[in-house]
Amino acid sequence: MTLEYPAIVEHGERRIRRWTLLLSSPGPIEQDLEQLGLVCQTSIEMLRRSAHVGLARDFSVFAATVKVRRHTPTELEVEVEYSPHGAIGDCVLTALWIPIQIIDAIWRVERLQGAERARWRPFLSRH
């Protein structure tokens, strides 16, 4: 099985990718999904601000919007909306992975985009 990123959906000047995650245990409850998206956005923003301060460059392209939807107790959809314009290095790639790494650290992702954990392991959290 090959590793496939979710399809890109064009949304004006921005792009959206929707990841499907299968968790090893029941994930966040419906009432916590919006807050979890904000936690992910805040983590991306903290990294962006650190890079801005440390390198004195504008990394506003690094900003992303994150939404989390629950399909079943163990299946989530993570939507990341971002701008591909003016991207520097791997900043867009990093913004795409931070929400998945946060969710993996809490609930352990068993399958990502239908592929087993072992295939995505280098990109997931360290457990």
Task: Give domain status of residue 15, yes or no.
Answer: yes
> Given a cut of 70, is residue 118 above it in pLDDT?
yes
Tens-place pLDDT, residues 1-21: 566 788 889 988 888 999 999
Nearest one of 86, 90, 105 to 40, comparing CA atoms:
105
Tens-place pLDDT, residues 99-114: 999 999 999 999 999 9
Domains of the chain: total: 1
Task: Give domain status of residue 64, yes or no.
Answer: yes
Collapsed DSSP state (helix, strand, coil) of residue 88: coil
Nearest one of 41, 91, 33 to 66, comparing CA atoms:
41
114: left (phi over 0), alpha (psi -120 to 50) or beta: left
Task: Give domain status of residue 79, yes or no.
Answer: yes
Tens-place pLDDT, residues 51-107: 767 777 666 666 788 999 999 999 999 999 988 766 555 566 677 888 999 999 999
Nearest one of 28, 32, 31, 50 to 94, comparing CA atoms:
50
Task: Give domain status of residue 45, yes or no.
Answer: yes
> Given a cut of 80, is residue 127 above it in pLDDT?
no
DSSP state of 109: E
Q: Which domain holds residue 65?
A: 8-118
101: left (phi over 0), alpha (psi -120 to 50) or beta: alpha
Residue 81's CATH number = 3.30.70
CA distance 27 to 5: 22
